Amino acid sequence: QVQLLESGGGSVRAGGSLRLSCALSGVGYNSAYCLAWFRQAPGKVREGVAAIDSDGSTRYIDSVKGRFTITRDNAKNTLYLQMDSLQPEDTAIYYCAAGAGVYRDGGMDIGSDRDYPYWGQGTQVTVSA
C-alpha cells in the first residue's frame, strides 16, 4: 500500500503564493511512480493540475502554466506544488496522487483521476479577491 499526506494549504489573497507538500510512504511506494496534483472546486469535477514523472518530466494544465511548479524530492519521498500568482479560481481542495503514469503519443500526460490508485486526503486552498 501507498500512503499520501498533503500539507500546506491555507487562505491567501489574490496574487499570493502557497507551497503544498505531499509526504509519501508505505511498503508499496517507490520513486518510479508518477505523481500528480489534482484539485476539486465546489460543484465541479476533480481535475488534474500537474504531473511529474520519475525522471522529472512535467506536465501542466494551461490555466496554471507559468504560475505553478511541480517538483519531487525522491530522497525525502515528498512531492511539492509551488503556487504563485494565485487567483480566486484556484480555490479548491488539492489532492496528491500516485500511479504508474499516463503516456500518449506526445509523451507523458496528466490523465484523469481513474489513472491514479493512490490518493491523499486533500488540503484546502482558498484565494480571496
Q: Does residue 37 have a pLDDT over 80?
A: yes
The pLDDT assigned to 23 comes to 97
Q: Is 115 helix (H, G, I), strand (E, B) or coil?
A: helix
Between CA 75 and CA 101 the distance in angstroms is 20
Between CA 62 and CA 67 the distance in angstroms is 10
Pair type for strands 10-13 and 123-128:
parallel
Render 37-73 in DSSP notation, one character per residue.
EEEE-TTS--EEEEEE-TTS-EEE-GGGTTTEEEEEE
Per-residue pLDDT of 58-100, as tens digits, reads: 999 999 999 999 999 999 999 999 999 999 999 999 999 999 8
Rounded to a whole number of angstroms, the CA Rg of the chain reads 14
C-alpha cell at 28: 508499496
C-alpha cell at 93: 481542495
